[in-house]
Structure 1
Amino acid sequence: MDNSMRIPRWPLFGLVDTLAAIASQACADEFPSRTVRVLVPYAAGGPSDTGARLLSVPFGKALGSSVIVENRGGAGGLTGTEQVLQAEPDGYTVLLGAVGPLVYIPVSRTVQYSVKADLIPLGLIWQSPLVLVINPKRGIKSVAEFVAYAKANPGKLSVSSAGLGTNTHMASELFKHEAGIDLLHVPYRGTGAALPDLLSGQIDATISDVAVMAPLIREGKLIPLAVTAPQRSALLPDVPTMAEGGLPGAQTENWYGLLVRTQTPAPVVAKLKSALSEAVAAPEFRAGLAIQGAVIREPGTDAFAALIESETKRWTPIIRDNNIKF
């Protein structure tokens, strides 16, 4: 065979790379050309849903496109998270990520994804404390009374959560561990789904987001015992912290942020990051957070990635040493 007739292969590889780059940039130039979907892996009515809906308007304005919120609850947030990972990596499906499917569940059992390998953090949108509340029928007024009753009646007090592997579930597990008590855990499909039974007294207590519980506390329907943050909540300034109640190790908080699949074109990711940065700085969004008792301490991709990593390091020994399974 005449080797002189062979066409060099390297220019073809260079051409392929060039065409791919052009296609990626064209995709970014057109993005978004249709509605962007923020998928919340929990049922409507909880803080994750509230945070996503507060964000949708300023996020849409910054993107120059409509943004809708869809709820796909189930399996402690795992169902919705996996659905995002099955969607096209084009930037039109964005995950509302939470500590459950990003930290707790992957530490506890094998999942079909790697948070580091399969998801790109865009930025935080919400951080807020939880509060331990109890139905007034029990007559318990403080953390000390709660712990004393639980120790005298192991397994008799019931505590609800938004589902296995959710932050409300893990907050109660941490509380049990720190207090040395046994509680009956009853998981529901979302915070809103648990409220009727909690208010009726069928469930004794829960540890849930301050924004959800504050109106019920003010109406006298639930008794607050302690918030899980290092400081008292602006929404519940008269409620002591867990540390003030004698349990400084029982600290947890809700946090949510947006993520996309790693295969999403880089220019599209850049647009999403820029739009999110603009949206979370919008005065109307910040005002909405304040009403909910939430904040964003450090916005941006790097801070969100660092939070996921630090929470994973913090919770891994707690989950594994106590053999917590979801």
Structure 2
Amino acid sequence: MNIKIKKILLTTLMSSVLTTAVAADFPNRDVRMVIPWGAGGGTDGIVRKLSIIAEKELGGTIYAENIEGGISAIGVMDLMSAKADGYTIGSLTYDSIVTIPWQDKLKRYDLDKLSYIARLTSEPDALIVDSTSKYKTFEDVMSDAKAHPGKIKIGIQNIGSRLHLAVLQLEKKADVDFKIIAYPGGAAAQKEAILANEVDIVATSLGDFSGLIDDGKAHGIVEFSTQRNLTYTDVPTAYEKGIDLVMGSFIVIAVPQATPKDVQNKLEAAYKVALESNEFQNWVKKIGVTPDWLGSDKTPTWIKDTKDNLHLIMQNLVDQGILRK
């Protein structure tokens, strides 16, 4: 065996031994969870809750860090550039996986820089009004929208986002027009807007507004789904109202691509135990979000299919002049 081949084999063996040693010792310090949205929103609450439970299984502290901006791009790029040792993990949502790659304006933003640990949740979007609204039902909104085109103000989170796409599709399918107002930064800004009567309606998930809904300060009038929410069973689906529109968000957790596989496996196992725990299952039922685990073996394919299908819908809307890229 020549010297060059021996060196390659020795390097490979040493790398394998070191990787195993790192994984066995992981974690020996705090793990940072990057949340690319503001504190107080739905993603923030779910990821923090799961991380608190997961750290018990992992055997180390997981602390959350909110890094806002660029419809999640700033926080996700922080994750992409982090050291690939398992001590920085991050959460991604619809905009992270669909909107930003579609806009294709950030050259440093490359999802291939990440490895996906799991999909955690799925949650349909909805239209929500405050408790003092004159709109009590979906029919109330549609009737007023047809009578007064462009009058009803709907608060979304970002132009070009999933919620923007949902409202544009609703306008097209129901033959109505709304005045769309963007509130970047997640659901927290939408809550302030609707309580201050800056908008008539907000488009987001029921889970994002669970606190206000449970306190009687807001209620859902329709959910963009084919099946009713298990928590808010009084909210009708778009399908029931004759609108073929299914749209929603999800939460995926990821690490820098070169993170040792054994470390990734430890993180995946800890979050799976956390998601399946009675503590999380009982908690999540109260906020209208559906736990929807998909492991690291299937999440990458699911992400690719989801992104490709939605990009096709978005491009069709651009071609029709309904959406601008």
TM over 0.5: yes
Map Cα deviations across residues 199-242 of structure 1 (whole Å, 9 max, x no partner): 22211111122133345345554353201221111332122111
**Structure 2 contact 128–206 (Cα < 8 Å) conserved:** no
**Structure 1 contact 214–235 (Cα < 8 Å) conserved:** no
Map Cα deviations across residues 65-123 of structure 1 (whole Å, 9 max, x no partner): 001111111111111111111111111111111111111221232433332x2221111
Q: Which runs of 5+ in 1 are unaligned?
A: 1-6
CA distance in 2, matches of 1:306, 1:8: 41
Does residue 113 of structure 1 match 2:109? yes
Q: Which runs of 5+ in 2 are unaligned?
A: none
Does residue 207 of structure 1 match 2:196? no
Residue 103 of structure 1 is matched in structure 2 by 98
SS of equivalent residue, structure 2 residue 220: strand
SS of equivalent residue, structure 1 residue 309: helix
Map Cα deviations across residues 258-312 of structure 1 (whole Å, 9 max, x no partner): 1111111122112212222222222111112212222223432234334322321
Alignment of 1:227-242 (within 5 A): 227-242=223-238
Does residue 14 of structure 1 match 2:9? yes
Alignment of 1:40-59 (within 5 A): 40-59=35-54
The equivalent position to 1:262 in structure 2, one of 257, 271, 288, is 257
More deviation in 229-238 or 296-305?
A: 296-305
**Structure 1 contact 124–296 (Cα < 8 Å) conserved:** no
Q: 1:136 Cα shift?
A: 6.0
CA RMSD of aligned residues (A): 2.2
**Structure 2 contact 226–240 (Cα < 8 Å) conserved:** no
Change (3 A) 1:148 1:121: same
CA distance in 2, matches of 1:223, 1:55: 26
Residue 4 of structure 1 is matched in structure 2 by none
Does residue 304 of structure 1 match 2:304? no
Alignment of 1:9-158 (within 5 A): 9-111=4-106, 112-115=108-111, 117-135=112-130, 139-158=134-153
What's the TM-score once normalised by structure 1's chain length? 0.89
SS of equivalent residue, structure 2 residue 267: helix
**Structure 1 contact 98–256 (Cα < 8 Å) conserved:** yes
Give aligned-pair identity as a percent: 25
**Structure 1 contact 75–164 (Cα < 8 Å) conserved:** no
CA distance in 2, matches of 1:58, 1:136: 34
SS of equivalent residue, structure 1 residue 296: strand
CA distance in 1, matches of 2:174, 2:312: 18
CA distance in 1, matches of 2:301, 2:169: 22
Residue 281 of structure 1 is matched in structure 2 by 276
SS of equivalent residue, structure 2 residue 16: helix
Larger Rg: 1
**Structure 1 contact 59–275 (Cα < 8 Å) conserved:** yes
SS of equivalent residue, structure 2 residue 285: helix
SS of equivalent residue, structure 1 residue 9: helix
CA distance in 1, matches of 2:280, 2:105: 36
CA distance in 2, matches of 1:153, 1:98: 34
What's the TM-score once normalised by structure 2's chain length? 0.89
